[in-house]
Structure 1
Amino acid sequence: MKPRVTVSVLPDGSFSIAVNEAGRDLLIEELDGLSREWDHFHLDHYDDPAIASATDVPLANRAYAPGDQVLKNGKVLFRPDDWDATYFPHVLDECGGS
């Protein structure tokens, strides 16, 4: 079975990621591959053939429940603490510092 990853905002405003086994494995592979040299990956809707061949993680487009807003694209960014301390120190304050 092909990877199925559905990213949604639920009616109450919470965020949900639903995955099948292949989708989980793909997400873990992409997350595990993040580094200072490879600092992000893309998630995109896969019904567009041009995007499907270029995206790292294809996103499904069907909501699991009525009222869910399915997101069609996104990006996961790897940001080491020293980068944030230099360029975005305000995010460290929110988390209690480094």
Structure 2
Amino acid sequence: MSGSPRITFSRTKDGSLEIWMNPAGRDLLVSQLQGLSERSDHFHIMPEDMQPELPARSRAYGDGDEVIHWGKVLFRPDEWDQEHFPHVMGDADPGDR
């Protein structure tokens, strides 16, 4: 029983991102990610009543969690970033680990 996709994006009290989803939500998220390419380089995350590519639920799972209703996932080939955003290329910042 997978039902309709259910995906909730939230930020916890400590600032961590959590993505909660049922099996149908996982399948939709994976499908959207696999569909990214140089010709289709992004998709939107919006409240489900707006019928976006990836619908976001508005009910938090944890007390004090901040639900994230809006977002965008962008596909960035290395060549594009090397040309337009070279500062993101290379090793991760030591503070990011």
Q: Same fold (TM over 0.5)?
A: yes
Structure 2 segments unaligned to the other structure (5+ residues): none
1:43-97 per-residue CA deviation (whole Å, 9 max, x = no partner) reads 1111x3xx12xx101001100011000011100000000000000000114538x
RMSD: 1.2
Structure 1 segments unaligned to the other structure (5+ residues): none
Runs of 4+ more than 2 Å apart: 93-96
TM-score with structure 1 length normalisation? 0.88
Decide which of 70, 76, 81 is 1:79's aligned counterpart.
Answer: 76
Decide which of 54, 64, 67 is 1:57's aligned counterpart.
Answer: 54
SS in 1 for 2:89: helix
Distance 1:12 1:66 in 2: 12
TM-score with structure 2 length normalisation? 0.89
Counterparts of 1:1-98 in structure 2 under 5 Å? 1-46=3-48, 48=49, 51-52=50-51, 55-95=52-92
Give the total of aligned pairs.
91
Distance 1:83 1:8 in 2: 29
